[in-house]
Amino acid sequence: MAIQKLFSVLFLHLALAFLLAELTNAGGLQLGFYRRACPDAELIVHETLHRYISRDPTLAAPLLRMYFHDCFIRGCDASVLLNTTSSNNQTEKLAAPNLTLRGFDFIDKVKSLLEAACPAVVSCADIVALVARDAVVATGGPFWRVPTGRRDGTISRSSEALNNIPPPTSNFTNLQRLFANQGLDLKDLVLLSGAHTIGVAHCSSFSNRLYNFTGVGDQDPALDSEYAANLKARKCRSLSDNTTIVEMDPGSFRTFDLSYYSLLLKRRGLFQSDSALTTNSATLTFVNQLLQGPLQNFFGEFANSMEKMGRVNVKTGTTGEIRKHCAFVNS
Ligand code: HEM
Ligand SMILES: *[C@@H]1O[C@H](CO)[C@@H](O)[C@H](O)[C@H]1NC(C)=O
Ligand SMILES: *[C@@H]1O[C@H](CO)[C@@H](O)[C@H](O)[C@H]1NC(C)=O
Ligand SMILES: *[C@@H]1O[C@H](CO)[C@@H](O)[C@H](O)[C@H]1NC(C)=O
Ligand SMILES: *[C@@H]1O[C@H](CO)[C@@H](O)[C@H](O)[C@H]1NC(C)=O
Ligand SMILES: *[C@@H]1O[C@H](CO)[C@@H](O)[C@H](O)[C@H]1NC(C)=O
Ligand SMILES: CC(=O)N[C@H]1CO[C@H](CO)[C@@H](O)[C@@H]1O
């Protein structure tokens, strides 16, 4: 009898353990993957980010964007961080969308601190994912627990960046297709585009809308004309300006909030890809729902989509490697 009871208790424990493992397992990833091998890993990422961001608050946005670019090419495997070398002569960084990515030095710094604390344990891909979450928190956005256990890839090709990262001139069809290629749906598209609530863009990313939209010296009719006039007068004074930067969510470009979606409805989304979200009835409805709901609702949904993007094609277990230096594959 006693033995039987012991067994059933044991069984219950086992069942619970399995259930827990199942709940925390996100496509081969786990919450707290480094708990034993590098208990301070997440703390080190967090503290380093805060140290850097207090000196340069504008760093949060490119670090969030880096995660997007990483996950959209070969899955979240830190391929975006690889430098061009003699054996890898055209990496993603060399592709046009790279031009404006920033924060590689920061990632290298975090990696060197992690290598000092626990050599060859924490992947660059997980650093990118944790940094993106902490960048969102640092700008007033939601916190969520990031499943970890990603491993680093060894391949990075500039041509793949061009084929997978949507250009700012994307229409709705293109956006839907490129997100679907990653297993992301229209809700994810709307939510993740909400990242444009922070950060800046170069005039060259959207000035076609201001100057020569259809090749006859015209403006994009989908862009609010008052806003366009303002941008031309004060910011992007010519079609060839590729150095001036513009806040994507003017007034609160360092704060993670809902105002990006309000701008979309005012026809003040900066890119054609932003404005495209209002050209489809499903995404437009969702934009309105987000604006009508509480901020916490957007926060929760954004966090879910970020986690979902973070699982795209991840390498886990024994595939890939743990890079020693994030800019180079191990030799
Ligand atoms: C939906 C398709 C998307 C397109 C077409 C797009 C395009 C762009 C472009 C062209 C820029 C400006 C680059 C520059 O001129 O300096 C930019 C900036 C940015 N993007 Fe996106 N993006 C998209 C989705 C995302 C996603 C999913 C995220 C993250 C979850 C993201 C995060 C950011 C951030 C934070 C910035 C500001 C970067 C900075 O301040 O340096 N974007 N995006
Ligand atoms: C990687 O390349 C970038 C330029 O593309 C350079 O600024 C950086 O210093 C390089 N990183 C390393 C570790 O060599
Ligand atoms: C890169 O290397 C390949 C072969 O390894 C070569 O065909 C190609 O021309 C090289 N590209 C550049 C830009 O050096
Ligand atoms: C969207 O853009 C693609 C490629 O630029 C183009 O082939 C397609 O016709 C466009 N679709 C719509 C509905 O405008
Ligand atoms: C506008 O586009 C047309 C067609 O591509 C081109 O011929 C013209 O030179 C452009 N105008 C300017 C100011 O760049
Ligand atoms: C920016 O424009 C200048 C002059 O128009 C050009 O020489 C330069 O290559 C451009 N830079 C980039 C990154 O496109
Ligand atoms: C940081 C980086 O590697 N930038 C490269 C982006 O791509 C252009 C060419 O398209 C290179 O000239 C830059 O060095």
Give the model's confidence band at 85: pLDDT under 50 very low, under 70 low, under 90 confident, else very high: confident
Contact in structure between 173 and 108 (CB atoms under 8 Å): no
For the chain, what is the mean pLDDT?
92
- pTM given for the model: 0.90
- The predicted model gives 304-326 an average pLDDT of 97
Q: pLDDT value at position 162?
A: 84
Residue nearest to atom 9 of ligand 3 (CA): 89
- Measured from the CB, is residue 159 less than 6 Å from ligand 3? no
Contact in structure between 206 and 242 (CB atoms under 8 Å): no
**What spacing in Å lies between the alpha carbon of 205 and ligand 6's midpoint?**
13
- Measured from the CB, is residue 174 less than 6 Å from ligand 4? yes
If one looks up domain 41-164 in CATH, what number appears?
Answer: 1.10.520.10
Question: Each residue of 100-143: pLDDT tens digit?
Answer: 789 999 999 999 999 999 999 999 999 999 999 999 999 999 99
Q: Using a 6 Å CB cutoff, which residues line ligand 5?
A: 212, 215, 239
Q: pLDDT value at position 13?
A: 55
Residue nearest to atom 10 of ligand 3 (CA): 89
Which residue from 150, 52, 147 is spatially nearest to 102, judged by alpha carbons? 52
**Gap between the terminal Cα atoms of the chain:** 60
What are the start and end residues of each CATH 1.10.420.10 domain in the chain? 172-309
Q: How many CB atoms lie within 10 A of CB 300?
A: 13
**What spacing in Å lies between the alpha carbon of 315 and ligand 3's midpoint?**
27
DSSP characters over 175-191: HHHHHHTTT--HHHHHH
**Residues comprising the chain, all counted:** 331
Q: Which are the catalytic amino acids? A: 69
Question: Each residue of 211-263: pLDDT tens digit?
Answer: 999 999 999 999 999 999 999 999 999 999 999 999 999 999 999 999 999 99
Question: Each residue of 4-59: pLDDT tens digit?
Answer: 555 555 555 545 454 444 444 445 899 999 999 999 999 999 999 999 999 999 99
- List C-alpha distances in Å: 26 to 35, 41, 181, 309, 318: 16, 19, 19, 11, 17
Q: Looking at ligand 5, which atom is closest to the CA of residue 212?
A: 1
Close Cβ partners of 229 (under 8 Å, ≥ 6 residues apart): none
What are the start and end residues of each CATH 1.10.520.10 domain in the chain? 41-164
Q: Among all ligands shown, which has an atom nearest to the Cα of 213?
A: 5
CATH topology of domain 172-309: Peroxidase; domain 2 (1.10.420)
The pLDDT > 70 percentage for the chain reads 90
